[in-house]
Structure 1
Amino acid sequence: MAQASAFATGSTCALRHGSGSVVQLPLRPLYRDCTSYGFSDLADATIISTIDTLTQRGGGLPQQGVTTALREQVATMAAMADGTAPPSFFLSSLDPGVGKTTTLIRFVQQLLRSNQHEGVAVLLCFSQLDEIAGLIDNMELNKADFAVFTGKGNEINGLSSTPYGEARILFTTQEMVRKRCRGRSFKDTEVFHYQGEVRAVRVWDEAMLPGEVIRLNTDQLASLRDPLRLSHPAMAELIDQLEGDLKVAGDHSFFTWPDVEDASGTSLWSAKRHLHGDLAGHLERLYDLSGRCVRLSKSGKGSTVTTALDSRDVIPDDLAPAVILDASGRVRATYSQWKKQKKNLVRLPSATKSYQNLSVHVMNKGSGKTAWSNNGEELAQEVAHLIDTKPDEEWLVIHHKTSDPERIPNLIRGLMATDTGRISFLNWGRHQGTNAYRDIKNVILAGLNNYSEIDYEMLARCYSGIRNDQKVPKALVDQMRSGELRHHILQALCRSSVRQGNGSDCDPCNAYIIAPSRFGALDFLPEVFPGCTVRTWKTRKLKLKPTGWVADAVAQVTSFFASNPDEVYLYKDLRADLGITNASNFNKRVRHHESYKAVLDELEVEEIATGKGPHRNALAKKPQSFGPVEGAGYIAGV
């Protein structure tokens, strides 16, 4: 006990022994909303075990700030077990690798041993199935003590045969909680109960987003019409009318969605009986929007597809008290707005480790999905060349997910001159909650996980309570964008050796990020990773081998000017010769491609404007400049 007390010496949020009642203590401004609880035997045993584990792992005591933050996490979970925690969501935003998960493991083990907490049960919510299996192993649980409740058909459910309601520890996914609690309170969602009672301790690992954006576009709406026409003609007629109304309403406007059940005379259950997969999801969102004032947005410039958007709560307030373990809590604007708007979020004390051993190199270049579609070979060659400079080291590459999940990895592998077996690839969406790459010291973010402007606007509306028919301040939208970018970069880089360290410093790591300057990464990276070194990653002048449409266009242009060096080659004729009818696609995939431009330079061919218009619409040989005649002599300077 004296050892545990010693760890609190000089802490910013003192912990006193007592009966477990809530005690508000003076705190420095950063922790002014922190609530401390009387430290119980359960909490004492947990913190002693945790500190012992972290000390052995890191070769010394964790820094004081980390110890204080972990003690507060333990005290909050113990207060939930004792039934004394207020109905708030408690956010611990300690950095990855500091000890949040280790603390949770030790708490569960001590809880199961505690004679004073024999009837206390725990609900643990995770974003990835892999996390659950790993945690069960680390907790060394008896199969009688736990159960796993995830989607049907998941093998992980078979790790224990204990009924959900009889297991002290219930593992589930965050999506399962959102799905089962939709439209109801947590206390009424019996599948999460233990012996007929609500589980006292609730822990949510990684990001908690209590609100979500609902979206349905006119193409998705239209896809429902034919499958429902025979069985539910009134519903098909309503869909026809809705689709027309949305197209007329236009972009950046508002629309009152009809009550679908009243207007069609059809319940969701009845309409959904013969629909599956995506169609069932589209139908659910059609009903979800009933009676709402929705925000309308076009999918892009010149697009005929209109999307209806609104937001809703997906986490019931009575899930509180709950502890949220999310390192991104210190960088995401969603938490700040949640705390301000709903006032039921409490930030626990935190501590940021030093990232002085992290070097981040940023290339100012477009790297979104469109850039990878149009200039993928150029981007892949930059990545491949960089990896080749360290032929004996492992690399982690985080990239966009495409319809062909192996497209970007294969592009990079195909351009490498060294062993490709030492590269691990991870797509955005799988960049959280895994420790599988924690020993890799080189990581590349081959593009950032960026959303559309309307997505950031809807996040701002959702978390600030701004209605769809009200204007959202641009500054708030910018905060959301910056916060989400910071969140994804923090989580992605912390899959690598950045998450390792001695508790105060991260392990050495070199990170490389491709992102346009408008994202502001050079400015905010030192805030996300205090103490890190940020440098520019300069692009190289690459000679790219044309492929696909570009290769066909290059061959055609080369052949034309070989036979007609003094002629003008209209772009409309080039498209016709290639069999390409869509000028916009041709411009994106050929004219704007770097390898196409490079070949034009080699051929000494340039784009020119012909006819009455000012736009360049043709190709011609560059005018020859005067110079020395081949074989003749001349005097320099005359």
Structure 2
Amino acid sequence: MINSFTDILAALPDDGPKALRGSSASDGVRIDREIDEPKVRYKVNDVEITEEQYHKAVGTWDEYRAWKAKAGDTLGKVGSATIAETERLFRDEYKHDPNADQWKGLKEIAKVYEQMAEGRADKAFYLSSLPTGMGKTTVAVQSTKALLADPEFNDVGVIYFLSRLEEIERLVTEMGLKPETFAVLTSDETLNALGNPVHEKARVLFTTQQRLENYSKGKAAFADMKELRYKGKPRAVRVWDEAILPSLVLTAGNYALKRLPLELLQRKQEKLTELADEIDEFAHSLKSHVGEYVTMPDIDKTGLDLETFRSYFSHSPDKDIAEALWYLSGHVVNVHRDRYSGNVTLGYEDILPADLAPMLILDASGGLRHTYRFWESDRRTLVRLDSPKKSYAGLTIRHWDKGAGSNKHRDFKAVSEIADGVVKMIAGIADDEPVLIVHHKVDARKGQPDIVREIDKRLSRPKRQGEIHYINWGRHTATNEFRDDKHVILAGVWTFPPASYEAMGRGAKRARTEEAFSADDLRATRIGEISHHILQAAGRGSIRKTVNGGCPGGCYLYAVFSSRNDTGFPKDQLKTIFPDATVEDWRPKGPAEAGLNGNVRKAFRFICEIVEADGEVTTTAVMEHLGMSRGNFKNRVIDHPDFMPALAAKGIVLVPGKPGVFRFFQG
């Protein structure tokens, strides 16, 4: 029986580190000797874990790391060349200055990349959560260049899974790849034509994360995905850029489910008519089962595969709901009540092939997202690389405590108020400074107000030298196009319904339907996901740069969101997302009537209009226009904290009297 680190050392040959490959057992370690080299496997209750997880669990982590270092677990040719070139780029071109601890994190990325290329990496998902702009992608790029330059690795293929198509051309340019060296596999034929049309002959393959998800839907193994192979074999080096979840979130609300039968009935097939009736009856029954477990309609009995079933809704906005229904077919699921989606069923589907590991994940939000903690503790296939935090002492955050979620952006009045506030923020920024505004996507087909247009029409653009840049939530990751913008405005934050957060958490934990998912777990998942998106959006601006291990001075983030306990986001979390930053409360001030609404706004506009035309207007005339009593007018209008300042900004004052008179100030 082997019970200690010393026992393991005694059982291994002198060359040590390369003999270690795996896991542990609940009451000891089982060592299997093979012809070429010994193997150590670690297991907990027959679940295989990594050697790092084992030594952390038994308290020998520091001793283990010291032994690994002494045994010579240093960078080889590829890793050394990578770090040397990265150091040169940071020093001579990027003016980028990580501290010593952050360099250790960057070197760990190079080490894992090299180990994958050499076939030495444990079958785990390696997460680097170094902050945005720290150089994670740069190290991966330089690792690829070093790999391709070394003939020893001619048979090693590389694959990048990217979240944005725009990143492909940038990476190709940075890597200096020749067309025959790389291939692109996306839905964009123009991009696909950039590289080698024979994917299997290209050393480097760029594809989207969505493409892998699509291939995985049939439960295919990574080794069996012929489109992703190099020289007939799975690509050994795998890099996932940005956020990842091990499972597909599946939610289906009764409002959307009720629309699906109409599409099926148009097919005029008996089996589809029966299925339509079953779905309709199920959707209407959900209101009686909130908080309970129910069995989803069984699509399997129709013999329809996913692609066929989804094709029935190809021109419908509900195609994703149809896909969720197909995955959940015949499954027992939870039913929740959501104020936007109605009564919602939720579940998840594992989407990462079982043999996808080892893979390198580059996600700056790794330390914030609770889903990674579930993945690490419950699935036990995630390994965290050293990822020291960054100081944001050079950042000032101004928080406007106002609801500005996607639901508010469907309301013309709310959008008008948000636009007024954003313009006030811009008014306080130097004219020659560029500004980045992150906003909710506008769906003009649904007649929604356009926040970008509302902001633009309020701006005195000819007087402003600095550009105003816009990106919408959903496109707020993986670009450094705005890295020189020191001022970033988040006009709202990106959130999802509670059922989606629970499905994310359950999927990361691989929790069974009947397992409890606590309110604390739900809250932690929700806060983690919102924090992730705030960090990514803010990181498009200048805070992504690094000077002496921290962000540059003079950076500002304006964040508009409600901090209400039930549906809001806690303001104090901003200090967790951005350590050492200064957080201030902010509210609109200045010439526009951003803080006015209802009768207060109506009174303001009436007074401005009459005074402009006639020179003055009495309080009596204003009260009559509003249909208000004297007491209500004083309490609700005159005493409103923003009413008199707004008039003063227009040069209008109230002269006391019976009645009072509003007129221009006359010195």
TM range (shorter): 0.7 to 0.9
Match of residue 176 from structure 1: 211
Question: Structure 2: any 5+ residue segments left out of the alignment?
Answer: 1-13, 22-50, 610-619, 641-655, 661-667
Equivalent of residue 441 in structure 2, options 394, 398, 401: 401
1:436 and 1:563 map into 2 onto residues whose CA distance is 50
Pairwise CA RMSD: 3.8
Q: Bigger CA drift: 31-40 or 435-444?
A: 31-40
**Matched residues in 2 for 1:602 and 1:148: separation?**
62
1:416 counterpart residue number: 459
Q: 2:562 aligns with which of 516, 540, 546?
A: 516
* Residue 528 (structure 1) aligned with residue 577 (structure 2): yes
**Contact residue 89 and residue 345 of structure 1 kept, 8 A:** yes
Q: In the alignment, is the contact (CA less than 8 A) between 1:58 and 1:502 conserved in 2?
A: no
Q: What do residues 570-596 of structure 1 show as CA deviations (whole Å, max 9, x unaligned)?
A: xxxxxxxxxxxxxxxxxxxxxxxxxxx
Deviates more, 1:242-251 or 1:103-112: 242-251
Q: Is the 8 A contact 2:338 2:499 kept in 1?
A: no
2: CA distance between counterparts of 1:526 and 1:567?
Answer: 45
Which residue in the other structure is 1:475 paired with? 520
Taking structure 1 as reference, are residues 567 and 30 closer, same or farther at Cα in structure 2, changes over 3 Å only?
Answer: same
1:194-205 maps to which residues of 2 (within 5 A)? 194-205=230-241
- 1:276 maps to 314
Identity level (%): 30
1:321-355 CA-partner distances (Å, limit 9, x unpaired): 00001110011111011001110100011122221
Q: Give TM-score scaled by structure 2 length.
A: 0.76
Q: Match of 1:70, SS?
A: helix
SS of equivalent to 1:135:
helix
Q: Residue deviations 1:418-475, cap 9 Å, x none?
A: 4477211111111100111000111111111122222222222222233334432111
Match of 1:613 in 2: none
- In structure 1, what is the equivalent of residue 535 of structure 2? 490
One-letter amino acid matched to 1:364? D
Q: Deviations over 1:565-623 (max 9, x none)?
A: 69999xxxxxxxxxxxxxxxxxxxxxxxxxxx999955999xxxxxxxxxxxxxxxxxx
Aligned to 2:644: none
1:502 aligned partner: 547
Q: Secondary structure at the match of 2:355?
A: helix
| Structure 1 residues 115 and 128: alpha-carbon distance in aligned structure 2, compared to 1, 3 A threshold | same
Match of 1:465 among 510, 524, 528: 510
SS at structure 1 position matched to 2:126: strand
Equivalent in the alignment of 1:237: 274
Once the two structures are superposed, the pairs formed by residues 612-631 of structure 1 within 5 Å of their partners are: none
Q: Which moved more, 1:523-532 or 1:215-224?
A: 215-224
Q: Distance in 2 between matches of 1:539 and 1:222?
A: 43
Q: Distance in 1 between matches of 2:335 and 2:493?
A: 26
Residues 564 and 546 of structure 1: CA distance in aligned 2, closer, same or farther (over 3 Å): closer
Once residues 64 and 558 of structure 2 are traced to their aligned partners in structure 1, the CA distance between those partners, rounded to angstroms, is: 37
Maintained 8 Å contact 1:128/1:433: yes
Q: How far apart are the structure 2 equivalents of 1:514 and 1:564?
A: 34
Asked if the contact 2:293/2:332 (under 8 Å) is kept, the reply is yes
Deviation at 1:67, TM superposition (A): 1.6
1:253 and 2:298 are equivalent in the alignment: no
Deviation at 1:535, TM superposition (A): 1.3
Which among 107, 124, 127 is matched to residue 88 of structure 1? 124
| Match among 361, 380, 389 for residue 352 of structure 1 | 389
Determine which of 184, 195, 201 is the counterpart of 1:166. Answer: 201
**Which SS does the other structure have where 2:506 is aligned?**
helix
1:381 alignment partner in structure 2: 420
Distance in 1 of aligned mates of 2:108 and 2:123: 16
CA offsets per residue over residues 485-522 of structure 1, 9 Å max, x none? 21111111110000113351212311111122234543
Does residue 374 of structure 2 align to residue 337 of structure 1? yes
Number of residues paired by the alignment? Answer: 561
Query: 2-side partners of 1:175 and 1:408: how far apart?
Result: 29
One-letter identity of the residue aligned with 1:543: E
Alignment partners' CA distance in 2, 1:384 and 1:113? 51
Whether 2:356 is the aligned partner of 1:319: answer: yes
Q: Report the 3-state secondary structure (helix = DSSP H, G, I; strand = E; otherwise coil) of the residue aligned with 1:507.
A: coil
User: 1:288 maps to what in 2?
Assistant: 327
Q: What is the distance in 1 between the residues matched to 2:450 and 2:246? A: 34
Partners in 2 of 1:113 and 1:506 — Cα distance?
34
- Quote the offset at 1:94 in angstroms: 0.7
**TM-score normalised to the size of structure 1?**
0.79
In structure 2, what residue type is equivalent to 1:56? D
Write the distance in 1 (CA, Å) between the matches of 2:488 and 2:312: 46
TM-aligned CA distance change 1:530 to 1:275, over 3 Å: closer
Q: How does 1:522-601 map to 2 (within 5 A)?
A: 522-540=571-589, 543=593, 601=636
AA in 1 matched with 2:156: V
CA–CA distance in 1 between the matches of 2:518 and 2:498? Answer: 13
Matches within 5 A, 1:200-219: 200-219=236-255
Q: Is the 8 A contact 1:50 1:102 kept in 2?
A: yes
Deviation at 1:543, TM superposition (A): 2.6
**Other structure's SS at 2:156 match:** coil
Secondary structure at the aligned position of 1:369 is classed as coil
The partner residue of 1:364 within 391, 401, 405 is 401
For structure 1, the 5+ residue unaligned runs are: 1-15, 570-596, 606-626, 632-638
Q: How many angstroms apart in 2 are the aligned matches of 1:207 and 1:444?
A: 22
Give 1:19 deviation, angstroms.
Answer: 8.8
CA distance in 2, matches of 1:212, 1:78: 30
Confirm or deny: 8 A CA contact 1:261 1:268 kept in the other structure: no
